[in-house]
Amino acid sequence: MWRQKKKRSGPKHPWRAERIEEEHGLGKAYGIRRMREIWRMKAILRNWHRQAKEITSMRAGPKQDEVLKILLERLQRYGVAGAEADADDILSITLKDVMDKRLETAVFKKGLALTALQARQFIVHGKIMVNGKKLNSPSYLMKVGEDASYVPGFTPKLKPEEPVTEVKEKPAEAKPAAEVKTNG
């Protein structure tokens, strides 16, 4: 039986307050449920940076140009690098750039959901399509030209429901106790 390779690595030191605060801020801003997802995006970014560093350390020549071209084409498909980018531009890519390319963030920014958490819920429940294909992975990295939309027949309520406030009529006033007739 094949074992799937781990796609992330945890932090080197588990209890650094500044790292924890930064991750919680990213989690709230992007609707992330577990820090594992942030670590996975950091691993993707780290891989791109590592490749760019290896390319810059290579001897100048046709092999370096070919490898750089392949990496730049991949990053341009995601919309992270521009057409005239080079290895230094790859090193300037931040974690927020990668997080903005997630399907969950794209759905929220497009206005298909009120919050990032609601966008995540729509995706996990199978209510979002990308280019006509239903996806249920909020961490899917959107490529340039891909379009997210609702599944046919799904129309969510995008405005929070307002509480119904009905004006109740005043109950008939009771007669004072002095006016009540007693038998006797």
**What CA–CA distance (Å, rounded) separates 184 from 172?**
27
Return the amino acid letter for 93.
I
* First CA to last CA distance, the chain: 96
- Look at residue 4 in the predicted model and tell me its pLDDT: 87
- Percent of the chain exceeding pLDDT 70 equals 86
| Residue from 38, 149, 52 nearest 99 by CA | 38
- Percent of the chain exceeding pLDDT 90 equals 72
The token pair at 164 is 């119904």
- Look at residue 8 in the predicted model and tell me its pLDDT: 81
What structural domains and CATH numbers belong to the chain?
17-95 (no CATH), 103-150 (3.10.290.10)
Q: Mind listing the pLDDT tens digit for each residue in 137-159?
A: 999 999 999 999 999 999 888 77
Q: Mind listing the pLDDT tens digit for each residue in 51-76?
A: 999 999 999 999 999 999 999 999 99
Q: For the chain, list residues with pLDDT below 50.
A: none
The token pair at 9 is 């690595």
